[in-house]
Amino acid sequence: MANLIKLEIVTPDRNLLSEEVEYVGAPGVSGEFGVLPSHIPFLSALSIGSLLYKQNGKRYYIFVAGGFAEVTPSKVTVLAEVAEKAEEISVERARKAREKAEQRINQQKEEIDYVRAKAAMARAMHRLKCRESGVSAGTCSL
């Protein structure tokens, strides 16, 4: 077990994942970071993107949007606002969200919240990218 690190991913709704893994890569607000067993402790805010973990030599991805990651030498705990496994992502729902965000961005009305629309677009695009890659490869890859 010395070459493994515990990965726990929790959202406000559920405990999404609790596994022993070989590697964790996550989208931090200051850039992506990677964690191996015995990593130095730190805390990072998370951005919108895909969290990667390696288990038994295979890569798996989970869509995350916001939250925090706490890293210790033996554990990575992710407290995410939103987290979805690739196989849980609804392509139709993500496409509709992308289309709605595109419409909001393209409207030139002042009452449209441009920043929120851009964030919705980013979430939809990352969901689609993760899901579509996961279906074709058996796991999600970017």
Residue 112 is predicted with a pLDDT of 55
Residue 140 is predicted with a pLDDT of 44
Please provide the average confidence, as pLDDT, over all residues in the chain: 83
**Which domains, ranges and CATH numbers included, belong to the chain?**
5-86 (2.60.15.10), 89-137 (1.20.5.440)
Q: Which residues of the chain have pLDDT under 50?
A: 1, 135-142
Contact present, 5 and 21 (Cβ < 8 Å): yes
Calpha distance 114→111 (Å, rounded): 9
Q: What's the pLDDT tens digit per position in 49-60?
A: 889 999 999 999
Q: What's the pLDDT tens digit per position in 59-69?
A: 999 989 989 99
